[in-house]
Amino acid sequence: MKNLLTRWLPYLAVLVAIAVYTSEKWLSNSGHAEQARTVVTFWAFSYPAQTMLELKTQFEQTHPDIRVDVQTVPWEHLQQKTLWAIAANSNVPDVIVGSSEWLGGLVSAGALEPLDTSELGETFFQKYFPPALRIYQYPEIQSSSPSKGGLRQYGIPLDIDLMVVYYRSDILDPLLEKKGWKSFPSTWDQFLELGKTVCTEFQTSQPPVRYLFLDPEDPVPLSMAFFPSSGTKVLDDRMEHAAFNCPAGISAFAFFARLLTEGCAMRWERGIMEDPLVLLKTTRSLVTVSGPWYRKVLERRIPEQAGRWRIALFPRREPQFPSSALGGACLAIPYNAPHKREALALIRFMAQDEFALNYFRRVGSPPPQISAWNDPVFSEPVAYFGGQRIYGVIREAIETAQPTQLIPNTQITRDCLRRALKNIADGASIQPTVEKAAKEIERLLQ
């Protein structure tokens, strides 16, 4: 046995050496191949990051020269982190998820790459609802001139947010029937009248039952529901002047105030009070105004009220006005992103229906791609809403919506409009309060 081992030992040594060399060569080649792949950095909050992580292998298989580095950034920090990275030209991501609420600040600073280029192609944009695309259009910032150029596309819609009415049909439908109305109010006057009817019907209830709740510290319903349904906007089309200090804008503030002063709505400031969901759970509020994603909140957190809810369009001051503004999240590329070609490839992948529907199942906000709506889920009755086909209502809201504006300075809504709304809710005169807010905004824009 010893002689046999001695005889074969040199051959075994050669085989081991070959194996080691081959292994090292393979590892070396694999390392070089990995180094040759372009790494595209994607910054997103939880839901789009999770969706990308689930599908990124599929993208990388069809793009073997690209690897996706998904970095999850908390939603409340995403804007600031993106701004710092772009300004410092350090660790700049290739693709970000931005919000229609704050993306305008980056656009107005010239920090984002226009995306209406021939590289994406005309057919790419044809798959989207036109109002969804218009959310992310902004006059081009020209570095060589103080004036703005024509409209450019600075974001590709990722999801859609808008305002619809969620209401307790088991309680309100009998009141509608008494009034001879066949559907939920579609006008401001009817909406207010139904609110007064609720006050009368439940005037002895303890705790008090109100039609809905309103938060004067939250300017989002004002800009996304009250303004568009009144026929006004926050700024003019060139983003240079306030536009809400007009009769239509005054009427929006007045309608908000009347709902409070005439007892239809209770004042509920989320910053100092508990989650307003408690009002819905305890039937102290019969209506709430929120986005399509709120469907999942109700189903998950108030399962015992299944079958008792319906949705409707937010009422309008005049029938020709939109019932809501249209906002949401989008995909954008910093102007100094290191890998723009690869970033566009990633955006094309995320624009496919498969990604859109996967993301929709996570977050509940409907897709901005028209083609994705061919999925049966958007035509099915929803048991929680008494069998109502709720996405028919939501699609009508999308197709008739007013695209929300990319506000160039978040102080305009978070400070100026919020302060005006709160002061009016506290009893301040509407006209001078609105004019004061408009002048503050003019100074910010200058």
How do residues 173-211 score in pLDDT, each as one tens digit?
999 999 999 999 999 999 999 999 999 999 888 888 999
pLDDT digits (tens, 9 = 90+) for 245-277: 999 999 999 999 999 999 999 999 988 888 999
Residue 15 has pLDDT above 80, yes or no: no
315's tokens: 């009422």
104's tokens: 């305008």
Question: What is the overall mean pLDDT for the chain?
Answer: 90
Residue 191 lies in a domain: yes
Identity at 94, one-letter amino acid code: D
Residue 16 lies in a domain: no
Strand order in the sheet with 285-290: 265-267, 210-214, 285-290, 164-168, 309-313
Non-local (6+) Cβ contacts of 251 within 8 A are 230, 317
Same structural domain, 287 and 273: yes
Please tell me the least confidently modeled range out of 142-151, 209-218, 363-372.
142-151
Same structural domain, 235 and 356: no
Which residues form the domain of 341? 37-160+329-378
Q: Which residue has the higher pLDDT, 226 or 29?
A: 226
Same structural domain, 69 and 156: yes
Same structural domain, 150 and 293: no
368's tokens: 């901005």
Domains contained in the chain, number: 2
**Rounded average pLDDT over 150-158:** 93
What per-residue confidence (pLDDT) applies to 143?
Answer: 56
**How many Cβ atoms from other residues are within 10 Å of residue 294's Cβ?**
18
* CATH number of the domain to which 203 belongs: 3.40.190.10
Residue 16 has pLDDT above 90, yes or no: no
Residue 27 has pLDDT above 90, yes or no: no
Non-local (6+) Cβ contacts of 385 within 8 A are 295, 307, 309, 310, 311
> What H or E segment, with its residue span, contains residue 66?
strand 66-72
What per-residue confidence (pLDDT) applies to 20?
Answer: 44
Same structural domain, 194 and 78: no
**Rounded average pLDDT over 22-41:** 60
Same structural domain, 291 and 423: yes
Residue 182 lies in a domain: yes
**Rounded average pLDDT over 283-300:** 96
**Rounded average pLDDT over 128-143:** 89
Contact 224, 252 (CB under 8 A): no
Same structural domain, 209 and 129: no
Residue 88 lies in a domain: yes
**How many Cβ atoms from other residues are within 10 Å of residue 121's Cβ?**
10
What per-residue confidence (pLDDT) applies to 33?
Answer: 47
Same structural domain, 208 and 288: yes
Residue 224 lies in a domain: yes
What per-residue confidence (pLDDT) applies to 210?
Answer: 93
Please, which residues bridge with residue 334 across strands? Answer: 112
Residue 30 has pLDDT above 50, yes or no: no
Give the CA-trace dihedral at 112, 116, 119, 120, to 10 degrees: 110
C-alpha to C-alpha distance for 32 and 273, rounded to whole angstroms: 57
Non-local (6+) Cβ contacts of 384 within 8 A are 295, 298, 299, 306, 307, 309
Same structural domain, 203 and 254: yes
Three-state SS at 1: coil
Residue 112 lies in a domain: yes
What per-residue confidence (pLDDT) applies to 82?
Answer: 93
Q: Radius of gyration over alpha carbons of the chain, in Å?
A: 27
Residue 219 has pLDDT above 60, yes or no: yes
What per-residue confidence (pLDDT) applies to 369?
Answer: 97
**Rounded average pLDDT over 130-158:** 84
Q: Which residue has the higher pLDDT, 102 or 20?
A: 102
Residue 142 has pLDDT above 90, yes or no: no
Same structural domain, 137 and 202: no
Same structural domain, 286 and 150: no
**Rounded average pLDDT over 28-57:** 80
**Rounded average pLDDT over 156-173:** 97
Same structural domain, 267 and 374: no
C-alpha to C-alpha distance for 317 and 246, rounded to whole angstroms: 14
Residue 21 lies in a domain: no
329's tokens: 């999240």
**Rounded average pLDDT over 425-433:** 97
Residue 19 has pLDDT above 80, yes or no: no
Burial class from Cβ neighbours inside 10 Å (0-12, 13-18, 19+) for residue 215 reads: buried
Contact 209, 284 (CB under 8 A): yes
Which residue blocks in 265-401 are alpha helix, DSSP H? 277-281, 294-301, 340-350, 353-363, 390-399
Which residue blocks in 400-429 are alpha helix, DSSP H? 411, 418-425
- Whether this model's pTM surpasses 0.85: yes
